[in-house]
Structure 1
Amino acid sequence: MTENGKEPLIQARGLVKSFGELTAVDAIDFDLQRGEAFGFLGPNGAGKTSTMRMIGCVSPITDGTLRIFGLDPRSDGVEIRGRLGVVPQEDSLDLELTVRENIIVYGRYFGLPRAELKKRADELLEFVELTDRAKDRVEPLSGGMKRRLTIARSLVNEPEVLLLDEPTTGLDPQARHVVWDRLYRLKRQGVTLLLTTHYMDEAEQLCDRLVVMDKGKIMAEGSPRELIERYSTREVVELRFGDERPDVFSYWTDGLVSRVEPLPDRVLLYTDKGDAAAHGIHERGLVPESVLVRRSTLEDVFLHLTGRSLIE
């Protein structure tokens, strides 16, 4: 039972996943509440996919406890899988079947009657706007269309929780926004979303709460806004210099800038007064090639927590 008195749909305590001597998931704790969108944010190798595979009951737990719908994956995997929808990182569509057939064939694994499956397939294709491609083979579809079909297929059993592992990796910006729109709609319909991503904008757009993961550990937890307010400043000034990069640290003694982060391609100044800090750059004799004032993001949170960029 959580602080709000509600039983979580998914609860992990001291959850561990090891592969030989490698610990991919290192004693993590988290709760997923019904109706929320919860995210695992972190770079490749952070342990996000390993966590999702344990939740999906396709990878055994090494240690710790995991409860899904109050059930134990070790003994109740079949029942749990029947109540989950899964969108894997790599699409596993049958390229030789038609768009509609992919949904119908997948639905048979859940024991759904054929007549019901046909109706459900048509509803799902309409939801992801693929009705006009229903009779087409999957192979020639664009990456965005294949991703939407994978999402449609994952909904065939009307899951209580939808697991999405890097749902928009490899998609162009337009296709990403189409996928986001469908996920918004699912959330409004009451579907609980659990996703992994290394895209900070995706996490900010979709997640009510998230955990920041790195090297198998949870570094922080909260809403996107809470994490930004806790670990960063209101704004960031990005400076790009040429071959000669000055000692920026020595210029900031007036308290206007709270932190300076030198990265390989730019220098970041963390401040609550971006315009004033940018103006002060020239007053101190600095001549950067470019100056950009922007709001803080989850990328800045990750940099603060780990000392490195999320996109390295």
Structure 2
Amino acid sequence: MVSVRRHEGNWNKRLACGGMVLGLILASQAFAVVLDPPIPSSRDAQSKHQDAAADHHYDPQDTQRGTRATPIVVEIHQPEHQRPIATQTEKEGEWYASPDWWVAGFTGALFFATVGLWVFTGMLWNTTKKAVRDGELAVAAATTAAKAAVKQADVAEQTAEKQLRAYLCLSPASMIVVKPGEELTCSISITNQGATPASNGIVVFGFSVCRPLGDNDYYVPIENVIISKSPIILAANSQPYPLVLKDGTPLSGLNFMRIQSGDNIIVIAGVVRYKDIFGIERYTCFNYSYNWDQMLKVDDMIVKDGFVGAQGPATFSMCGNDMD
């Protein structure tokens, strides 16, 4: 019993020594982690571990005293981030053998290619926009020039027409016949003041006996309109030509007395249509009125001078005296 107890006491002492050794090892390991010293190689760690085990092995004499105790083996595992680093570094290959360099190079090339494409697209867009703008300006300028040319041609044509066309001018001469039971007859002076002849002229006219109006706004009823049958042809810059117009209805005695008394007047209105050398139809309108006093003046002119000039006493109506 005494031998067993002594053996147990030695066993407890050894356990205490082993615990102290383990505590020292753990403390040194923690302190090494804090200070982050160079990590020893796996061989050094294994050698130290064997030396520590040899220092704490059982005495051989203890085998004679009793049962041999099993030695305590302590294994220390280092964290993943503190794994032993090989003392010999592997030889690195050339830079072009690394895939990362190729990925980086391809990415850079793609970036520069994209930037270049953007720049080229911007320059192409700017050039296209400028070309379109220049084209629009050129088209607008050409259109304006064409319109100006057409307008100039039209103006030149109109100017030529105005300069070379015929102009028939009319003026009232006199009333020739005003008698009961006879047709009213009027003489109108017509002149071609244009540079070219007038041809195929016709006269559409009519007479009317009506009361005088203060505004001289007279017209001839459509049923009184007559179309002359003789064509009118006048040379350029012609002398005044007397155009004699006759009413188709005889003057009644009642209307004659009203004309003498001044209650009625005689109105003659119409239009002369003709063609110029350009084949364009032209016209000149006329609208005159005569009262009894004006007719008497015509008689005095005939008695005194033997004729009536290009224009005798008459009144121009408010409208109907114009030309194209």
Larger helix proportion of the pair: 2
The TM-score with structure 2 as length reference comes to 0.18
What TM-score, normalized by structure 1, do the two folds share? 0.19
Structure scoring higher RCO (CA < 8 A, sep ≥ 6) equals 1
Bigger strand fraction: 1
